[in-house]
Amino acid sequence: MNKAHHLFTSESVTEGHPDKVADQISDAILDSVIEQDPAGRVALETLVTTGLAFVAGEMTTKAYVDIPKVIRGTIKAIGYTEPDLAFDWETCAVISSIDEQSQDIAQGVLGTGLHHEKGAGDQGMMFGYAVDQTDELMPLPIMLAHKILLRLSELRKSGKITYLKPDGKSQVTVEYDEGKPLRVDTVVVSTQHSAEVSHDEIREDMITQVINPILPEKLVDEKNITYHINPTGRFVVGGPHGDSGVTGRKIMVDSYGGFGSHGGGCFSGKDPTKVDRSGAYIARYIAKNIVASGLATEAELQIAYAIGVAQPVSVSIDTHGTGQVDEEGIVRAINKVFDLTPQGIIETLDLRKPIYKKTASYGHFGRNEFSWEKTDKIEDLKRAVK
């Protein structure tokens, strides 16, 4: 990260954002498979638009999944229950086009091809990141953006603000100096709303009821903070009616808000044999434990795989000059402490469980409910670097 004086911005989106609707549908189907068949293999993409949810991809499983029922239940839980939104759980069309996983890919995953150990489900590079800016060891801008929208969602679902609809976005800009947050510079909140409410009422509610309870007081200077609330002036048409949504289009929202690198592959709709997902989870787990152990105050880990091959082709780390030991020593410690084979990752993080739908909104990282957020390898890493 740039250590000089600068501004940095990250965004988040609500569970009702079209791309997040698609992510949640893909992961809800994955959960339904894993609940019945923990070894099921799934790679699904969803597209949502006005009055339509379309799911395509590959699935090899012994499970039976009522896909239309899962899709409609997911849409209902998000809050698309009103026909006048032009996308609702009861009346939207549902289409699926799902085939079995390619046998060529399957033999690499199952260890029946050239290599006899269960290998990665695809090639690629994955990144994990951690930094000591927040209690969650996450970058501050993305955590604030998520928390603002979680607050917005809570007020919508509880009925405390009655005009709110499911779609929405936030964006937070933080001023930094020498890598340390100084203050929150700008907050953007765009929320879908009913037609009769005034912009002035929305602005007042968003600042007083949504934003202010979230921002740390020590980082707010009311004379030098900018709020942009529904900056077009109106956000009545939203959700999949206002903009089509597709699985995997919000990868920076899912990860570190642009603060750390991203390998390019999305997470949602993929079972844990797909290292785009499980590799990114183990990389976060490792990076978080490194920072929690005091070996560095910032850590960015890269792991790369070849399809069908169990061991990663490379492991590297960048502590951005904050490491207490040399980076080669940290990599050696990582290789001693962690099993980075796909099977080892699945077992370490207990990934054969239906946990994925809840990852698909408000970020995959920085939430202690997930196994990859544990800091239980601190002592092992400290011993290994010695």
Q: In what order do the strands lie in the sheet with 52-60?
A: 93-99, 52-60, 41-49, 245-246
State the average pLDDT for the chain.
93
Residue-level pLDDT at 112: 55
2, pLDDT greater than 80: no
**Each residue of 21-71: pLDDT tens digit?**
999 999 999 999 999 999 999 999 999 999 999 999 999 999 999 999 999
Q: The tokens 């809050």 sit on which residue? A: 79
Rounded Cα–Cα distance for residues 283 and 186 (Å): 31
Rounded Cα–Cα distance for residues 325 and 334 (Å): 13
Q: What is the pTM of this model?
A: 0.94
**Each residue of 255-270: pLDDT tens digit?**
999 998 888 789 999 9
| pLDDT-above-90 percentage for the chain | 88
Distances (CA, A) of 88 to 23, 76, 287: 17, 7, 40
Tokens, residue 290: 């490194």
Residue-level pLDDT at 106: 54
Residue-level pLDDT at 3: 67
Bridge partners (DSSP) of residue 41 are: 60
Reported confidence tier of residue 172, pLDDT bands at 50, 70, 90: very high
Considering Cα of 121, then 288, then 303, then 46, what sign does the dihedral take? positive
Residue-level pLDDT at 111: 54
Structural contact between residues 139 and 257, judged by C-beta atoms closer than 8 angstroms = yes
Q: Give the long-range contacts of residues 286-290, CB within 8 A, separation 24 or more.
A: 286/128, 286/334, 286/338, 286/377, 287/128, 287/129, 287/130, 287/317, 288/128, 288/130, 288/137, 288/372, 288/373, 288/375, 289/375, 289/376, 289/377, 289/378, 289/381, 290/130, 290/317, 290/319, 290/330, 290/381
Of 117-121, 211-215, 225-229, 375-379, the poorest mean pLDDT is in 117-121
- Kindly report the number of other CB atoms within 10 A of residue 224's CB atom: 10
Distances (CA, A) of 250 to 245, 246, 333: 10, 9, 33
Reported confidence tier of residue 296, pLDDT bands at 50, 70, 90: very high
